[in-house]
């Protein structure tokens, strides 16, 4: 049997992605002349990013995950379904056996432990308090889609290095953030967030962008790295092996009376 802590690990996987949850903004006022690439003002670069965003109503994907922290490495597969602005659903398997189901809506996270016949329900507010994360469904949705998440009340600058543009800003609450954008395709390739208040850092890499039949580039290989005193060093990587967009899918989630609720 797999201990419940493994499924709390899966919950944590969701929670670290929520680190950047603030209201998006395209406020930009400064420019640093790029080197090696054509000159690009901040506003023009943000427009390019906006044009390349994944804008779909439904996502259905299958992915292979690897979770690493200072004490363990875990591997599992998952089916991921997202309905825009509504709900995220995950069916998690280990060794081809369904181990858990996870449902995230605008307010809460629900985890169903299939192997131990247990479940728990946590509010996004709880995640915020437990992990010092400003939990927000929109941020989770944005990062699953592979879109940039821009923090509010910040002044951005732009420069270029090699084949990338780099946007740099500082959110008024004390979060330093950087975005690296491909200078040819204008696909987002990396994001970094340093929260000075809680001494934590999140890095997001988006690789292997593939052109979809819907006309947008979609990253099929992702890496999340987080470091803080609360979590230690955490690394979550996943490869998306199948994708389907704008096709409604069922998200079955029911809790049997035989299951025990745990806190």
Q: In the Cβ-directed half-sphere of 98, how many Cα atoms lie within 13 Å?
A: 11
pLDDT at 132: 54
Instruction: Give residue 192's pLDDT.
Output: 92
Question: Residue 220's pLDDT is what?
Answer: 96
109-160 per-position pLDDT tens digit: 898 999 999 998 988 777 666 655 556 788 778 878 999 887 777 789 999 9
Per residue in 216-240, pLDDT tens? 999 999 999 988 887 789 899 999 9
Domain coverage including residue 20: 4-261
- How many domains does one find in the chain? 1
- Chain segment 75-120, per-residue pLDDT in tens: 999 999 999 999 999 999 988 899 999 999 988 989 899 999 999 8
Is residue 1's pLDDT more than 50?
A: no
Measured CA to CA, the distance from residue 226 to residue 233 in angstroms comes to 6
The mean of the pLDDT values for the chain is 83
Tell me what the mean pLDDT of segment 23-50 comes to: 67
From start to end of the chain, where are the E strands?
58-68, 73-83, 87-94, 97-104, 108-113, 118-123, 157-161, 164-171, 175-182, 188-195, 200-211, 217-228, 232-245, 260-261
* pTM listed for this prediction: 0.81
Any idea what the CATH number is for the domain that residue 79 is in?
2.50.20.10
């Amino acid at each position: 049997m797999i201990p419940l802590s493994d499924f709390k690990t899966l919950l944590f996987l969701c929670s670290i992605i929520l680190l950047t949850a603030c209201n998006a903004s395209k406020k930009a006022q400064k420019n640093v002349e790029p080197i090696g690439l054509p000159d690009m003002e901040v506003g023009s670069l943000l427009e390019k990013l906006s044009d390349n965003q994944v804008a779909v109503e439904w996502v259905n994907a299958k992915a292979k995950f690897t979770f690493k922290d200072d004490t363990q490495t875990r591997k599992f597969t998952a089916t991921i379904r997202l309905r825009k602005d509504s709900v995220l659903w995950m069916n998690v398997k280990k060794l081809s056996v369904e181990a858990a189901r996870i449902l995230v809506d605008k307010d809460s996270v629900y985890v169903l432990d299939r192997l131990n016949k247990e479940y728990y329900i946590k509010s996004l507010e709880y995640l915020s308090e437990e992990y010092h994360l400003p939990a927000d469904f929109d941020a989770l949705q944005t990062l699953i889609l592979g879109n940039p998440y821009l923090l509010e009340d910040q002044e951005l600058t732009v420069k270029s290095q090699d084949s990338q543009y780099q946007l740099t800003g500082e959110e008024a609450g004390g979060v330093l953030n950087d975005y690296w954008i491909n200078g040819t395709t204008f696909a987002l390739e990396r994001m970094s967030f340093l929260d000075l208040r809680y001494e934590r850092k999140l890095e997001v890499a988006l690789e292997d962008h593939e052109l979809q039949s819907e006309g947008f580039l979609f990253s099929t290989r992702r890496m999340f790295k987080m470091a803080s005193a609360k979590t230690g060093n955490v690394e979550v990587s996943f490869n998306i092996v199948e994708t389907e967009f704008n096709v409604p899918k069922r998200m079955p989630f029911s809790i049997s009376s035989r299951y025990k609720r745990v806190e």
